[in-house]
């Protein structure tokens, strides 16, 4: 019989893997930016707890997340609106126009995640131990997602090198006795 702690560990492992898989769908630059911010937060909480610029950045991020979340909440029936869809060209619209662009309800989970993360990051800079633990876990997840990006890029490079590389270095060696690093070091 499995113990409760084993079930809990399995569940948290599955949730961690799902979070990493979700993060890995984001562009590399977005992950790198998030990781840089988180490492700045973790460094600031241990070395310079009065990083005013960092605090300002996090407060702005939180206010932006709150605004986005409120905008989505202000239009709860956007996904079921039967009126005309917004056009792609600019048109003057009144606040009561059915042509006014509104956020999609599908954006709600992302807005909620951003609001939660922004609040957690700010709390971490203020010494909240639970927030710090969450930020450290998120750092590991971001690092794992970026590692997936690097692994995928390396695999793509080894299987289908970019044309500019083959133009510069010549055709990729086909023998297994000639490792790829030999080709790159030529």
Query: What tokens appear for 148 in the block?
Result: 């997936």
Q: 99: which residues sit within 8 A by CB, 6+ positions away? A: 83, 84, 86, 87, 91, 93
pLDDT in tens, the chain (186 residues): 779 999 999 999 999 999 999 999 999 999 999 999 999 999 886 655 556 688 888 889 889 888 888 887 776 554 444 444 444 444 444 444 444 445 566 677 888 888 899 999 999 988 899 999 999 999 999 999 999 999 999 888 888 888 888 888 888 777 655 555 555 544
Query: pTM above 0.95?
Result: no
């Amino acid at each position: 019989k499995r113990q409760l702690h084993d079930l809990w560990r399995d569940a948290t492992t599955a949730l961690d893997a799902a979070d990493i898989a979700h993060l890995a769908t984001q562009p590399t630059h977005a992950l790198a930016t998030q990781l840089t911010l988180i490492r700045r937060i973790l460094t600031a909480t241990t070395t310079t707890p009065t990083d005013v610029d960092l605090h300002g950045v996090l407060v702005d991020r939180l206010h932006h997340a709150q605004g986005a979340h409120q905008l989505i909440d202000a239009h709860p029936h956007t996904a079921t609106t039967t009126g005309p869809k917004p056009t792609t060209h600019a048109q003057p619209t009144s606040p009561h126009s059915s042509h006014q662009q509104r956020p999609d309800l599908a954006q709600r989970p992302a807005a909620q995640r951003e609001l939660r993360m922004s609040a957690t990051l700010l709390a971490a800079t203020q010494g909240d131990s639970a927030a710090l633990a969450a930020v450290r876990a998120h750092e590991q997840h971001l690092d794992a997602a970026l590692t997936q990006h690097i692994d995928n890029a390396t695999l793509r490079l080894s299987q289908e090198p970019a044309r500019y590389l083959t133009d510069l270095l010549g055709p990729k060696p086909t023998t297994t006795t000639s490792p790829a690093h030999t080709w790159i070091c030529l």
